[in-house]
Amino acid sequence: MSALSSIAFVVNAQKSGAPELASELMELAKDHGASVKETHDFPVVADFLADCDACCVIGGDGTLLGVSKIAAEAGVPIIGVNRGSLGFLTTFTADEAKEYLPSLLRGEYTLDERVMLECTSGEDQSDLALNDVVIKDEHHSRLTRLKVQADGEFVTSYTCDGLILTSPTGSTAYNLSAGGPLIHPSAEVIALTPICPHTLSNRSIIFREDVDLLIAPEDPKSCVTIAVDGQRNLRTCEGGEIRIRTSPHRLKLIHRASFDHVGILRTKLKWTGGVTNGG
């Protein structure tokens, strides 16, 4: 892989130890000949990643989600360093970041490209999601009835608390909590998972990557809120449609050569099953 000579650091100063770790990593990067710049501001301004070879995000998965859109659009890969809790996306610990940063700068890493979802509302508002798009009634305590089409064909109408449209990356987030499937991040698909559906036979559906999904409230007077990665909200009213597709943009994540996604799942989800010999 290409060597990294210019690193942008995005630091969540609210996370314990994050500013101090950022200072250590920036000094380490400079000692190895890389130029650095840093921000603690959120949201990150769109041109902050200009002319950078990589972006080092220090915080939790939410911090990385907040940077994913501009990183994907700029084509800048992310090094995720975890100072939060789970760390499905920010996969480097503080100690690992300090240990591996010199080798990453030399180009000794793997690139993992992740599907992004493109969401367009009826008012021509558009956004990108790395994890998921969640559609609910604007009054979140109310049930909503949403009709779904895939490539122009009617799928069904859901009476539920909402719908989760998830990428493979987001399958470990809200989707998993709602009973949806785990999906390997290399699978280029979109999953639809209803939240507390009134019809018990309504379960998750996996659609191919190039599907064109159209979702709209059955009541033309109702309004829905569209949460993008749990951080940004769009809204549509009076029969407005929501279109979900995969984006041509991909988010690139930098991992050490020994990175093991299934190992991360075992650790973070506390799987306890072991390998047995014999039948």
43 upstream amide cis, omega within 30 of 0: yes
CA–CA gap between residue 195 and residue 163 (Å, rounded): 6
Q: Is 61 a catalytic residue?
A: yes
Contact 52, 46 (CB under 8 A): no
Contact 169, 185 (CB under 8 A): yes
Q: Kindly name the residue from 31, 41, 51, 61 that is annotated as catalytic.
A: 61
- Burial code (b: 16+ CB inside 10 Å, e: under 16) for 108-146 equals ebeebebbbbbbbbbeebebbbbbbbbbbbeeeeeebeb
Q: Is the dihedral of CA 237, 242, 248, 249 positive or negative?
A: positive
Contact 48, 118 (CB under 8 A): no
| Half-sphere CA count of 256, side-chain side, radius 13 A | 16
Neighbour count for residue 260 (Cβ, 10 Å): 12
Instruction: Classify residue 229 as left (phi > 0), alpha (psi -120 to 50) or beta.
Output: left
Element housing 119 (H / E) = strand 110-120
Using the 8-state DSSP alphabet, how is residue 174 labeled?
H
Q: List, by residue number, the catalytic residues.
A: 61
